[in-house]
Amino acid sequence: MPSMEAFFVFLQKNPFNMMLFGGAIATGAMLLWPLVMRPFRAGREVSVAEAVQLINRKDALVLDLRDTGEFEAGHITGARHIPEKQLAERLKDLEKFKGRSIIVACGSGTRSDVAVQVLRRNGFGESVSLSGGIGAWQQAGMPLDKR
């Protein structure tokens, strides 16, 4: 393996080479991290297309976790608004939806994962997170209701 030895000699000649190599390894790891961690997430995620199918075919409830101002600026048609901070205390409001699929949406898809875990622990087994949140919904060209 003379080529591998030559590579290590090249790295050792200049500390800058080692830094560049380390940077390449670190950025590669950051790119792969979401793919590696996906199976370990407690709640399942759905894409915008899958969410539309759940809404149309299974009459899924959309639960919007964003603040009131964000919700009023535009939300998925028919979405129920429960701010993230109030979710635990307002679970009773959702009891009648226990048998239905629930799509949890936030601004970017990061806060909804935690809410899905809370819902699943409380018997809402069909809860899923909207991957990318309302931002992904808008980027896909889907309409928002501003009422």
* pLDDT 10s digits, 24-76: 999 999 988 877 776 665 458 899 999 999 999 999 999 999 999 999 999 99
Cα–Cα distances in angstroms (integers) from residue 52 to residues 2, 36, 85, in the given order: 56, 26, 26
The catalytically annotated residue of 106, 115, 116, 130 is 106
**Claim: this prediction has a pTM higher than 0.75:** no
Please state, as a whole number, how many other Cβ atoms lie within 10 Å of the Cβ of residue 93. Answer: 12
pLDDT at residue number 41? 58
Q: Which CATH number fits domain 41-139: 3.30.70.20, 3.40.250.10, 1.10.10.10, 3.40.47.10?
A: 3.40.250.10
Q: Which helix (H) or strand (E) holds 68?
A: helix 68-73
Do residues 120 and 127 touch, judged by C-beta distance below 8 A?
yes
User: How do residues 80-106 score in pLDDT, each as one tens digit?
Assistant: 999 999 999 999 999 999 989 999 999
Query: Are the C-beta atoms of residues 79 and 112 closer than 8 Å to each other?
Result: no
pLDDT score for 40: 63
- Residue 91 annotated to the active site: no
